[in-house]
Structure 1
Amino acid sequence: MDLKEVHSVYFIGIGGIGMSALARYFNAMGKKVSGYDKTPSPLTDTLQKERIDIHFEDWGEAVVGKLDKTSTIVIYTPAVPTDFGELEALRDMGYVMMKRAQMLGYITRYTKGIGVAGTHGKTTTSTMLAHVLHQSIGCNAFLGGISSNYGTNLLLDSSSDISVVEADEFDRSFLQLHPFGGVLTAVDADHLDIYESASALLEGFELYINKIDPEGFLLIHDTIQLPSACKQIRYGLSREADIQGMNLRYEAGTFRMEIRVYDEVWQNVILGVPGIHNAENALAVIGVSLELGVSKEAIIEGLQSFKGVKRRFEYIIKEPNRVYIDDYAHHPTEIKALLSSIRLLYPEKRVLGIFQPHLFSRTRDFMPEFARSLSELDELIVLPIYPARELPIEGITSEALVGQVSGDKGQVLSPDAAIEYVTKSDWDVLLTIGAGDIDRIVQPLRERLI
């Protein structure tokens, strides 16, 4: 279907972070946008304020009578069960239906798409890149998080042919994209419920980077060895990198480093967001921006003025004697990177972490690794596992995870009990960590602590 002939777009799972960016995109184009989501959330509240119609019950076959088949596209998320009533009814009636990734593929086919892929760092890297480009040469961006600079997950610029998108490996969605350039941040094992093995996941990433235009480019972390037909630019903290970060430090209240960009050294570059992982993300952003023609001065200014992404190393409270940071980390490698950055920023401080495991399968596949990463905390609270799309797995529980954490420093509590415990506990730095619905305790915690 030609998008010019489309008058309405209907979303199944409209409240998802990636789906909502597309909903906003079509709303900005003047299409009639509506959709279903399982539960209300701050994001669906915002969409409704933007005059997007949303309902929270499965209309089943009744949905057919509400949508004109000849002028409607249905976009759905793979997170919705295949036997969901509305999905089955619309499919049976022959509506034009696309997964979210297919629509992003359409957009990247007809623009200069920059796909940011990797098992960690996609959202922060793509949002940082979008900010640098938006402040300099302009871009469109479909983000997997809410930019703290702009308060949205969608940036639009009708004068730009550049589109920044997250290339999501879940459900092999990134294979639907047609990028001109890209970033590959990490290929650690994850989503083994989809790929079944780390080698199969690696093969998926190789397939993806070989979808990049041969005339384009790939910024690839210097720990990754994968062939591609396009130009590769390696970034990282090692001497072998084409773009290398050096002398990372926290100085005068800001996170800084020197950067060797090919044969030139950029001195005393200030990052708007702290963290070792964010320093590496910034290196990738530098490489992409230079390839797209952004000046050194504009890149440095953009990196310094970048305010981050909601739930990515987000400061909730920042006082001289008490700090509270909320982070989306849901993989052992991400937790390790988070805690390494915390120790760099706040050495000798007592750190209390509240962690919510995401998915029974991920907890099962990486339980020893989770335990090792979480053991770096001074004190740990683990919430019950967030199941998302999964059913429980026998023996895979938060109690089992705490049992593997060293030092007898962990306990399992409900969200409400965790809030009560934290308000009466002794700590210097508090972290809420996880990708489920742990974000729902962030505001109650803040209100109790300030």
Structure 2
Amino acid sequence: MELSAIMSPANYPEKSCSYSQTITLTNRRQIVQTRKLKYVRKASPSLKLPPVITDCDNAEVIGARERKGKEWIHFVGVGGCGLSALAMLALKQGYEVSGSDMTWSDAMDALQEAGARVYIGHSELNLRKNNGLVPDSLVVSSAIRGGNVEILHAESGGIPVYKRGAWLGRITKGYYLIAVSGSHGKIHVMSACVELLRSDKMSGFELYDIYQLRLILEGKTTTASMLAFVLNAMGDDLTAVIGARVPQLAERNIICGTGCNFVLEADEYDCCFLGVTPQIAVVTNVDWEHVDMFQDEEAVKTIFRKFIGQIRVGGHLILCGDSPVACSLVNKTGSGSALPVLRNDAFQISTYGISSCNDWHAVSISPNSCGGSDYQLLHKGLHIADISLQMPGVHNVLNSLAVIATISALSTDQKNFLSSIAYLKLHLQNFGGVSRRFERIGTVRGCHIYDDYAHHPTEIQAALQAARQRFPFQKLVVIFQPHTYSRLAALKDDFAIAFTNADRVVITEIYEARETNLWKINGRDLAISIVDPPSEFIPSLIQVLEMLVVHISKDPDHETVILTLGAGRHSDFYD
């Protein structure tokens, strides 16, 4: 294993060198102590990699330690990405698992195949077995509202009911937790743009890259997935929970390991991430994304400040320094600028981004022959390595910088970290991305079909920038299904200017998700507000499919890229 030193000390084979150092840690009782750690480390056949600060002594790691009996957990709203991942992890850790949802999903297929009992519809009958037993705990999705019959039945019967955030706090207790958080940026032109315009390190950049170098992070899902993949590939026997499917992971959205490290995609929705206390927290950026949950951007900043405040003493904050809003969370000057004034007495802070003000930054970003991006990695102005990614877009460069900064923070020896950079580079290059993040669906008669989860104006800009990087001369047709009435009502003007890199835009009816239309808004309103490029409103995905069949048949020799965007059920469209 290449990253044997990241494994739990208890899991090292009785082989090779001894190692000792002084570390500061916080145990489950939140008592800070300093002690000498001695353990036997497995010898790597390739190189000596940096040991990582972890502590599993006397930890109550649910699923990673022996339990008395087999606990039954029932998940309410199990069909979604977030809760289905937690249900699958519970199965792999030895729990008895059941779950329910109002509609069937692919995730429920996987859970049923793995041994869970899953039900369509919510009923108190789902909480009873023939032998009279009931669940030991209920875990409830953030999408489930009050008055749910299963929740009411559990509460009346004295069954503990956990919201998703509280359950995350329970299952991550005792692990060395790396929590990756972040929402999506508004259309702020960053200081990084000015930095690049003044520099001579712009090789390979098209003009649209410069103007789109805003805070266009793909965000926590890709960053968490990339981090989990790279650590796992380097030999870390970690546990991970991701809010999307990762094709290169055996279990798609989880890793069930026996080591001490836990990589978690930490979601601010419903304040879920306030249930955890990370050793390392990553904040990609901060913005008013969940308009149905937070009143304004200031409310979002308040909740992120609380999250940062939960970093364990002696821990580490990894922050995108190109985001003024993210920097303002800890910037004591209040200026919101990415300057080296970020200080905190309780934990360390490292920044990453395009600007040279950051600890970790990228220069000479350029498209590569694989359709991805190459760049030079610098740390505090010193060249470290040349990085190559198979995923396009500046946002993925930023994601990889976050991963590099995090793995560096995991290391206790910077020299050994630098000696391992060749392996880190290799695994970053091998990472193929996340399902529904600029995912290639196929090619039909010269039409390249891609799908992306983008449902926020900034995400859309990032997806289109990536598409233009990979297909600079082809016609780009975008099909967008808006997600929730509240988001479209609040951000309609931002959506209207987010499609400028497309040649044609089709807007469908809104995917309502958990909402009713109190705003009296529909997809046609957005289509009308888009001035450039040409746009039209086609209500149903079936009608869109019929339009595409005609389009492809009419001009089979002309190369076209079709990109579907949105957080709805596009799998039905492709089926």
Q: Out of 380, 383, 408, which is 1:290 matched to?
A: 408
- 1:319/1:307 CA distance change after superposition, 3 Å: farther
- 1:315/1:435 CA distance change after superposition, 3 Å: same
Alignment of 1:213-362 (within 5 A): 213-222=312-321, 223=323, 224-225=326-327, 226-227=329-330, 229-253=346-370, 254-293=372-411, 295-317=420-442, 321-362=446-487
Equivalent pair of 1:140/1:155 in contact (CA under 8 Å)? yes
- 1:273/1:376 CA distance change after superposition, 3 Å: closer
Equivalent pair of 1:69/1:95 in contact (CA under 8 Å)? no
Q: Which amino acid in the other structure matches residue 146 of structure 1?
A: R
Q: Report SS of the residue matched to 1:373.
A: coil
Alignment of 1:19-418 (within 5 A): 19-59=83-123, 61-66=124-129, 72-120=136-184, 121-138=219-236, 139-151=238-250, 152-158=252-258, 160-222=259-321, 223=323, 224-225=326-327, 226-227=329-330, 229-253=346-370, 254-293=372-411, 295-317=420-442, 321-407=446-532, 409-413=534-538, 414-418=540-544
Equivalent pair of 2:61/2:171 in contact (CA under 8 Å)? no
TM-score scaled to structure 2, two decimals? 0.73
Residues 403-441 of structure 1 show CA distances to partners (whole Å, capped at 9, x for unaligned) of 100147111221001111112226621101011222321
Q: Which runs of 5+ in 1 are unaligned?
A: 445-450
Q: For CA contacts below 8 A with separation 6 or more, give which structure has more relative contact order.
A: 2
- 1:63/1:55 CA distance change after superposition, 3 Å: closer
Partner of 2:47: none
Equivalent pair of 1:360/1:391 in contact (CA under 8 Å)? yes
Deviation at 1:193, TM superposition (A): 1.7
Q: Report SS of the residue matched to 1:195.
A: coil
Q: Which runs of 5+ in 2 are unaligned?
A: 1-59, 185-218, 331-343, 412-416
Task: Say which is worse superposed, 302-311 or 406-415, in terms of deviation.
Answer: 406-415
Equivalent pair of 1:313/1:327 in contact (CA under 8 Å)? yes
Tell me how far apart the structure 2 counterparts of residues 96 and 395 of structure 1 sit (CA, whole Å).
39
Equivalent pair of 2:79/2:108 in contact (CA under 8 Å)? yes
Equivalent pair of 1:192/1:198 in contact (CA under 8 Å)? no
Q: Is 1:437 the equivalent of 2:569?
A: yes
Tell me how far apart the structure 2 counterparts of residues 89 and 110 of structure 1 sit (CA, whole Å).
31
Q: Which amino acid in the other structure matches residue 65 of structure 1?
A: R
Tell me how far apart the structure 2 counterparts of residues 283 and 68 of structure 1 sit (CA, whole Å).
53
Q: Report SS of the residue matched to 2:122.
A: coil
Q: Report SS of the residue matched to 1:244.
A: strand
Q: Which amino acid in the other structure matches residue 140 of structure 1?
A: T
Deviation at 1:164, TM superposition (A): 0.4
Tell me how far apart the structure 1 counterparts of residues 463 and 518 of structure 2 sit (CA, whole Å).
28
Tell me how far apart the structure 2 counterparts of residues 239 and 115 of structure 1 sit (CA, whole Å).
25
Tell me how far apart the structure 2 counterparts of residues 70 and 423 of structure 1 sit (CA, whole Å).
51
Partner of 1:17: 81
Residues 74-106 of structure 1 show CA distances to partners (whole Å, capped at 9, x for unaligned) of 111120121121121112221011112212112
Deviation at 1:255, TM superposition (A): 2.2
Q: Which amino acid in the other structure matches residue 394 of structure 2?
A: I
Task: Say which is worse superposed, 26-35 or 64-73, in terms of deviation.
Answer: 64-73
Partner of 1:448: none
Tell me how far apart the structure 1 counterparts of residues 373 and 274 of structure 2 sit (CA, whole Å).
36
- 1:68/1:290 CA distance change after superposition, 3 Å: farther
Q: Which amino acid in the other structure matches residue 399 of structure 2?
A: N
Deviation at 1:64, TM superposition (A): 4.4
Across the aligned residues of Structure 1 and Structure 2, the Cα RMSD in angstroms comes to 2.1
* Identical pairs, percent: 31
Task: Say which is worse superposed, 325-334 or 422-431, in terms of deviation.
Answer: 422-431
Equivalent pair of 1:132/1:298 in contact (CA under 8 Å)? no
Q: Report SS of the residue matched to 2:282.
A: strand
Q: Which amino acid in the other structure matches residue 248 of structure 1?
A: I
Deviation at 1:297, TM superposition (A): 2.0
Q: Which amino acid in the other structure matches residue 257 of structure 1?
A: Y
Q: Which amino acid in the other structure matches residue 276 of structure 2?
A: L
Deviation at 1:71, TM superposition (A): 6.1
Tell me how far apart the structure 2 counterparts of residues 91 and 376 of structure 1 sit (CA, whole Å).
51
Q: Which amino acid in the other structure matches residue 98 of structure 2?
A: S
Deviation at 1:68, TM superposition (A): 6.3
Equivalent pair of 2:362/2:376 in contact (CA under 8 Å)? yes
Tell me how far apart the structure 2 counterparts of residues 54 and 150 of structure 1 sit (CA, whole Å).
23
Deviation at 1:302, TM superposition (A): 1.3
- 1:16/1:402 CA distance change after superposition, 3 Å: same
- 1:24/1:64 CA distance change after superposition, 3 Å: closer
Deviation at 1:24, TM superposition (A): 1.4
Higher helix fraction: Structure 1 or Structure 2?
1
Q: Which amino acid in the other structure matches residue 484 of structure 2?
A: L
Size of the aligned set, in residue pairs, is 441
Equivalent pair of 1:375/1:406 in contact (CA under 8 Å)? no
Deviation at 1:230, TM superposition (A): 1.8
TM-score scaled to structure 1, two decimals? 0.93
Tell me how far apart the structure 2 counterparts of residues 331 and 126 of structure 1 sit (CA, whole Å).
19
Tell me how far apart the structure 1 counterparts of residues 247 and 499 of structure 2 sit (CA, whole Å).
27
Q: Which amino acid in the other structure matches residue 40 of structure 1?
A: W
Deviation at 1:305, TM superposition (A): 0.9
Equivalent pair of 2:165/2:271 in contact (CA under 8 Å)? no
- 1:320/1:345 CA distance change after superposition, 3 Å: farther
Tell me how far apart the structure 2 counterparts of residues 65 and 252 of structure 1 sit (CA, whole Å).
57
Q: Is 1:423 the equivalent of 2:536?
A: no
Deviation at 1:301, TM superposition (A): 1.3
Deviation at 1:349, TM superposition (A): 2.0
Residues 34-61 of structure 1 show CA distances to partners (whole Å, capped at 9, x for unaligned) of 11011112211111111111010222x3
